[in-house]
């Protein structure tokens, strides 16, 4: 029996939490507090997204006193679902979705988005649920030298636990929008196939706005699937709480300090200090390395803040003669891994009409005419399994500065992914396609054939990312990474990092389930380790 399987057995046989943890906890907003906060707990978790929510829930269920600190506000699912997309961007998305990974060399600028809210980026995903591909697990065990219990078979119980908690289900073909159905037709005509997507949803109504808050609460992100269980087991969640530094006694982490914020202005209002017997950092790929650096740890290997992967993504919009109503259906219902050998994954995609209209090319009357054509538009997306050329730097303000140098083979994949998506839509009967090239007018099939995509400068490419990973990567030795295979920061005691920043390599697929499965593996071991 593997170590992870043994932990599953321990879970099944675990005693009920102590009476103390059966008292329900609370979610606190910053405005509730009138004086500086001095708190005490067994474990403080900094960040409430995919990694932090798993850790907080499992430890609270095990009877430990857990405090979760989240910089962003707390919105219920109903409150978030009632916001317009523009309001969601202002109040829930970090830096109003304006973070850029600045290009180095022959690289496009990349818009990197993340959540700043109770539930973290999990609240902003399309609900896509991929396990880490087996070949990626093999790289971890082979090239990276990580232990066997990080293999795909050994991790099976972790995946199963997360998928059950998140209500992961297969999107039926009937839930595909007309645009996704047309893309599937194009794939078939070009000798390829789409496969049904798995998503963490329940009773999805197919309104196509998962990234901006589901109006029906159908997406079971961690704010709905994990954190309520943590609170029911006694965890205390403090929204509007900015952590600036980890506290130490020698090499042992003993708590954190920072500020209670006055959101939505994010002004520092009251001092915050939490004393804890164990500290878990779960701030994500952009902010976890920043917090470690400000606290003077994690730098010894020279890898802190480096090796960030992004899965550079590109969208394709196609216009058809027939009305499509692309927003009617699951936002991300299908995918294709047929082009895995070319470093490409294609995934279904649609975004709210207002967001699409704002990004249509042209100005004035021409722009208005194209915006009126929204009902005829279909969309699909794709991303590249990149090699990790990103870096996180300390910026002049609260947000980090990101830079990214695209590997040569990744840069070569961009024309391929753009052409494949456009050709697929044309095979399905599209009249014209809007390529992700700034300043380029839409092209028809003949125009695409004549266009040399390899000649388009990188700075003209429209590129985005929702998956910053690897900036505090897990490693087999203290010389090759930031955290050990148990998630502990090398050279420290009682300090863990459990989020996307520890992922050892690029995944090539949406990372939510992979991050949560890794967090499950770590926390199952953590809860068996005595608190001192």
Q: How confident is the model over 164-175, as a mean pLDDT?
A: 96
Instruction: Specify which residues 258 forms β-bridges with.
Output: 243, 272
Which residues, 6+ apart, have CB-to-CB distance to 254 below 8 Å?
Answer: 247, 248, 275, 276, 277, 279, 494
Q: Which three-class secondary structure state does DSSP give residue 353?
A: helix
Burial string for 248-279 (b: 16+ CB within 10 Å, else e) reads beeeebbbbbbbbbebeebeebbebebebbbb
Q: Is 19 exposed, middle or buried (0-12, 13-18, 19+ CB in 10 A)?
A: exposed
Does residue 137 come out as left (phi exceeding 0), alpha (psi in the -120 to 50 range) or beta? alpha
Question: 365-397 pLDDT, tens per residue?
Answer: 887 888 888 999 999 999 999 998 999 999 998
Distances (CA, A) of 18 to 5, 59, 276, 375: 24, 12, 19, 56
Question: 46-81 pLDDT, tens per residue?
Answer: 999 999 999 999 999 999 999 999 999 999 999 999
Q: Is 342 exposed, middle or buried (0-12, 13-18, 19+ CB in 10 A)?
A: middle
| Cα–Cα dist 313/409, whole Å | 15
Total domains present in the chain? 1
Residue 404: how many other CB atoms lie within 10 Å: 27
Does the residue 279 lie in any domain? no
Does the residue 495 lie in any domain? no
Structure confidence at residue 12 (pLDDT): 33
Does the residue 490 lie in any domain? no
Better-scored residue on pLDDT, 507 or 23: 507
Structure confidence at residue 485 (pLDDT): 98
Active site residue 467: yes
Instruction: Specify which residues 257 forms β-bridges with.
Output: 245, 273
267 pLDDT band, cuts 50/70/90, is confident
Q: How confident is the model over 208-215, as a mean pLDDT?
A: 90
In the structure, how many helices (H) and strands (E) does the chain have? 16, 21
Mean pLDDT of the chain: 93
Does the residue 390 lie in any domain? yes
Given a contact cutoff of 8 angstroms between Cβ atoms, the answer to whether 499 and 50 are in contact is yes
Q: Which three-class secondary structure state does DSSP give residue 77?
A: helix
Structure confidence at residue 22 (pLDDT): 53
Question: 418-439 pLDDT, tens per residue?
Answer: 999 999 999 999 999 999 999 8
| Cα–Cα dist 299/194, whole Å | 44
Containing 409, the helix (H) or strand (E) segment is helix 408-427
Instruction: Give percent above pLDDT 90 in the chain.
Output: 88
pTM: 0.94
Half-sphere exposure of 250 (CA within 13 A, CB side): 3
Q: What share of the chain is helix, strand, coil (3-state, %, to 5)?
A: 35, 25, 40
| Cα–Cα dist 373/396, whole Å | 42
Sign of the CA dihedral 173, 122, 141, 313? positive
Catalytic residue among 28, 287, 385, 467: 467
20 pLDDT band, cuts 50/70/90, is very low
Is the pLDDT score of 284 beyond 90?
Answer: yes
Structure confidence at residue 305 (pLDDT): 98
Better-scored residue on pLDDT, 279 or 16: 279
Given a contact cutoff of 8 angstroms between Cβ atoms, the answer to whether 491 and 478 are in contact is yes
Which residues, 6+ apart, have CB-to-CB distance to 397 below 8 Å?
Answer: none
356 pLDDT band, cuts 50/70/90, is confident
Closest Cα partner for 204 from 186, 193, 220?
220
Is the pLDDT score of 19 beyond 90?
Answer: no
Does the residue 187 lie in any domain? yes
CATH number at residue 452: 3.30.560
Does the residue 514 lie in any domain? no
User: What range defines the domain where residue 342 resides?
Assistant: 86-114+169-219+308-465
Does the residue 26 lie in any domain? no
Is the pLDDT score of 17 beyond 60?
Answer: no
Backbone angles phi, psi at 253, to 5 degrees: -70, 135
């Amino acid at each position: 029996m593997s170590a992870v399987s043994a932990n599953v057995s321990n879970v099944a046989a675990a005693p009920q939490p102590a009476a103390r943890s059966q008292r329900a906890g609370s979610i606190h907003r910053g405005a509730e507090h009138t004086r500086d906060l001095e708190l005490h707990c067994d474990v403080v978790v900094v960040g409430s997204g995919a990694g932090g929510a798993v850790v907080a829930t499992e430890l609270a269920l095990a009877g430990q006193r857990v405090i979760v600190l989240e910089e962003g506000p707390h919105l219920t699912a109903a409150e978030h679902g009632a916001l317009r997309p523009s309001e969601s961007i202002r109040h829930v998305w970090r830096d109003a979705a304006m973070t850029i990974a600045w290009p180095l060399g022959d690289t496009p600028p990349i818009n990197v988005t993340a959540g700043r809210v109770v539930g973290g980026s999990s609240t902003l995903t399309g609900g896509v649920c991929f396990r880490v591909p087996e070949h990626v697990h093999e790289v971890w065990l082979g090239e990276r030298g990580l232990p066997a219990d990080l293999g795909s078979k050994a991790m099976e119980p972790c995946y199963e636990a997360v998928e059950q908690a998140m209500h992961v289900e297969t999107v039926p073909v009937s839930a595909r929008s007309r645009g996704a159905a047309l893309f599937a037709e194009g794939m078939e005509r070009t000798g390829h196939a789409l496969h049904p997507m798995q998503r963490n949803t329940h009773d999805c109504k197919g309104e196509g706005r998962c990234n901006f808050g589901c109006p029906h609460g159908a997406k079971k992100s961690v704010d709905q699937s994990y954190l309520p269980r943590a609170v029911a087991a006694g965890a205390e969640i403090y929204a509007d709480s900015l952590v600036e530094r980890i506290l130490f006694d020698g090499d042992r982490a003993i708590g954190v300090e920072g500020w209670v914020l006055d959101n939505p202005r994010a002004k520092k209002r009251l001092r915050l200090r939490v004393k804890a017997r164990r500290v878990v950092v779960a701030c994500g790929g952009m902010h976890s390395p920043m917090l470690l650096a400000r606290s003077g740890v994690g730098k010894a290997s020279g890898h802190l803040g480096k090796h960030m992967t992004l899965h550079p993504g590109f969208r394709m919009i196609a216009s058809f003669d027939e009305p499509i109503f692309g927003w009617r259906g699951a936002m991300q219902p299908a995918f294709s891994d047929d082009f895995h050998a070319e470093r490409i994954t294609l995934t279904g995609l649609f975004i709210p009409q207002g967001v699409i209209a704002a990004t249509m090319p042209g100005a004035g009357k021409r722009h208005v005419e194209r915006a009126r054509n929204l009902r005829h538009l279909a969309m699909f997306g794709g991303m590249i399994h990149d090699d990790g050329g990103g870096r996180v730097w300390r910026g002049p303000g609260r947000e980090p500065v990101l830079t990214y140098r695209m590997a040569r083979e990744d840069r070569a994949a961009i024309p391929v992914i753009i052409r494949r998506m456009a050709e697929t839509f044309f095979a399905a009967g599209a009249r014209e396609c809007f390529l992700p090239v700034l300043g380029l007018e839409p092209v028809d099939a003949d125009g695409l054939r004549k266009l040399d995509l390899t000649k388009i400068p990188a700075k003209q490419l429209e590129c985005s990312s929702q998956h910053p990973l690897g900036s505090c990567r897990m490693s087999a030795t203290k010389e090759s990474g930031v955290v050990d295979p148990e998630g502990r920061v090398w050279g420290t005691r009682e300090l863990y990092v459990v989020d996307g920043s520890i992922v050892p390599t690029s995944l090539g697929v949406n990372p939510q389930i992979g991050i949560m499965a890794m967090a499950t593996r770590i926390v199952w071991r953590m809860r068996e380790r005595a608190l001192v």
